[in-house]
A and B are shown apart, each in its own frame.
Chain A
């Protein structure tokens, strides 16, 4: 293609992208079409990938097509396998895509669609994609070492220790919050509870099918499992309409929480082939299919966004979660823009599959762009709802009241008209008894998704089926995260305890399995229970805590990346990771300060504890609520201190190298020429 034509094409993409961003940013007082968000996103990602990631690849990382990757050098057909870049892309995307980019943008939609959209685009292009890309490449150059190992080698022992604690903390908090989202989606919903309960025997059946009937035919088993899950959704309608069965599956939040805690413990201790592996396959199958379906639905239906670009809640008084747009919009969006957790995947399985260094760009940078696109779709799903409906679903009873009329009046008073009758009709349309106070983001996302799907396929008549399909989809892959996360946490704990007493480190020794499983499940179960008992719905305190810990892990990853870049004598390009690092430090430290010390009891943990303690008539469980607040403040404080420590340690390493006091030595594997490069040239 002639250079002038290429220039014209990219110029047109830039103009179109600018027009789309201007449209979503400058429109006031009138509704816009969701396609503007899609166009803005696609153009931003295309430009970011073509120009920015190419700059990072060429100038900062100097990707070398001649250098053999560990997949080639250490090829053992098991962990290290040179794999086609598109296959690695799919594998990496399936591992990084979770509920975060769906839930975060839905919650952040309380500020309007504009702040979330802008941060998802800018945060991904300049932060999240860069983090995933550089960590992946650095791990590739270090034989697939993990983030914690790289932190220890490049920054020092403190770096390794902080990374380890940050990973364990984020896993525990994430699992607590994820379980709370499932509880809030399934409470008083016999249809949803029945469907999700059925996925357990379906997963067990798949496990036996794979083990006994058709060994290794995972795709086939997943299709069978998917058909059975569809039948379970259909059966859920029958269950919800049969009084005796409906009564059995109409569960309170507390009962659901106990059941999920028991499930988490059993899933962690049972053999992996029986429950974890088949559920993982099934949830991946449903996840990839549903994300593709949602993308098609949005493009085909191109719905109108009813949410305004900015709401009155940018002042911090929001009902979904309290806090001003800065820093809480950034903390809430989390994974859709930048996720520290991705650094674990980028330094886990993926670097062992990369066939050639230049492919790290497409896998690392590209897969995060796809994840960010999922976050944009979640924003659209939330913002196609009438704002009154959105706030009725997402506001806790502690803010809008228990009675439907009171809630509708309160929400209408905010300028988002809604009536109790409208909410009742909507609840009936989706086959639920009520949609009030369904905090956590999942039900609002499910209603938005059902709205988009049903207007494309089947109409209002099948809205209930689509809604429960969406709930099943979210709950299924959150439960998979509970299985997998508990196990990962258990292994990490066993590794650490093995240094104290060797038998505890043996992953097949049952006393060790049971005790470490109990510790991890007990830890996230504590946060879950705290969220369930919280009169403000739990999400208000726990989601920001999850966001802070996730962004702090990204801070650790970016510290490692900046240290390596400086040691590579590329300090003039260090801004590539230093700029997002500085932004994350400002955001997370400010958010943590607010969460600990803010005088507003809806924001500050300590202020809330003081308010409870000062009540003239004690509320039930007051001592526990006060303790929870103080513990949340302590957890936030400890996390922030540890990251402060790693920042200081990193800065010391940077200054040492830059001033010439310390020799800059990177711990890369030695260069070996790639035969793939030779083959291609030949």
Chain B
């Protein structure tokens, strides 16, 4: 097995350098896509809200998050 350093210094394991690069690339693309979707759908904002306020997800905390985000969301234009 190859061990090749990544740009951020951590190691990754793969059976062949090319397959490893391709697999990593796909995984990275999938992670990015999911992250983009989570940002678009405000899931990341909710996660940040939970972290900032050190609370766990529940109907009441989600209601508090919605209250906090209500004005910002309502003022966000959607384009033509």
Using a CB–CB distance below 8 Å, which chain A residues touch chain B? 77-79, 81, 83-84, 86-91, 94-100, 170-171, 174, 178, 210-212, 215-219, 222, 271-273, 276-277, 280-281, 284-285, 288, 334-335, 339, 341-342, 344-345, 348-349, 353, 480-481, 484-485, 487-488, 491, 507, 546, 550
Contacts and interface: CB of A to CB of B under 8 A. Distances in A.
Contacts of A491: 71, 74-75
A277 B45 CA distance: 14
Contacts, number: 134
A488 B73 CA distance: 9
A550 B79 CA distance: 11
Interface string B27-39: 0000011011111
A334 B48 CA distance: 37
Given A78-B68, A215-B62, A216-B46, A87 B79 contact: no
B59 interface: yes
Interface residues of B, number: 38
B41 A281 contact: yes
Contact of A215 (B41, B48, B59): B59
Contacts of B63: 211, 273
Given A86-B32, A272-B66, A272-B73, A284 B80 contact: no
Contacts of B41: 218-219, 222, 281, 284-285
Interface in B30-80: 32-33, 35-43, 45-49, 51-52, 57-59, 61-63, 65-66, 68, 70-80
A119 to B, nearest CB: 17
A216 B73 contact: no
A94 B40 contact: yes
Contacts of A280: 73, 78
A341 B35 contact: no
Contacts of A84: 32, 35
A99 B80 CA distance: 6
B74 to A, nearest CB: 5
A480 B74 CA distance: 12
Interface of B: 32-33, 35-43, 45-49, 51-52, 57-59, 61-63, 65-66, 68, 70-80
Contacts of B71: 491, 507
A165 to B, nearest CB: 16
A135 to B, nearest CB: 13
Given A211-B62, A272-B70, 14 more contacts: A79-B72, A83-B39, A84-B35, A87-B35, A98-B79, A211-B59, A218-B42, A273-B70, A288-B40, A335-B79, A335-B80, A339-B79, A341-B79, A344-B77
Contacts of A215: 46, 57-59, 61-62
20 contacts: A77-B51, A78-B45, A84-B32, A84-B35, A87-B36, A90-B37, A91-B39, A98-B78, A100-B80, A178-B80, A215-B46, A216-B47, A217-B43, A218-B46, A273-B70, A284-B40, A344-B79, A487-B74, A488-B77, A507-B71
A87 B78 contact: no
Nearest to A212: B59
A507 B73 CA distance: 13
A446 to B, nearest CB: 19
B31 to A, nearest CB: 10
B36 A90 contact: yes
A217 B59 CA distance: 11
B8 to A, nearest CB: 10
A134 to B, nearest CB: 17
B38 A488 contact: no
Given A77-B52, A339-B80, A488 B42 contact: no
A98 B80 contact: yes
A430 B76 CA distance: 36
Interface of chain A, helix or strand or loop or mixed?
helix
A345 B43 contact: no
A96 B48 contact: no
Contacts of A353: 39
A550 B6 CA distance: 47
A189 B18 CA distance: 54
A90 B42 CA distance: 13
Contacts of A79: 72
Contacts of A342: 79
Contacts of B32: 84, 86-87
Contacts of A95: 76-79
A261 B27 CA distance: 46
Contacts of A90: 33, 36-37, 39-40
A521 to B, nearest CB: 15
A284 B42 CA distance: 12
Contacts of B47: 216
B51 to A, nearest CB: 7
Contacts of B65: 216
A210 B62 contact: yes
B37 to A, nearest CB: 6
A78 B48 contact: yes
B58 to A, nearest CB: 6
A293 to B, nearest CB: 15
B77 A77 contact: no
A99 to B, nearest CB: 7
Contacts of A276: 73-74
B79 A216 contact: no
A566 B32 CA distance: 38
Contact of B36 (A89, A178, A272): A89
B30 to A, nearest CB: 12
Contact of A484 (B37, B57, B70, B76): B76
B48 A77 contact: yes
A1 to B, nearest CB: 16
Which among B46, B68, B73 has the greatest number of chain A C-beta atoms within 10 A? B73
Contact of B52 (A78, A86, A334, A487): A78
A374 to B, nearest CB: 12
A485 B62 contact: no
A480 B78 CA distance: 8
Contact of A348 (B33, B36, B76): B76
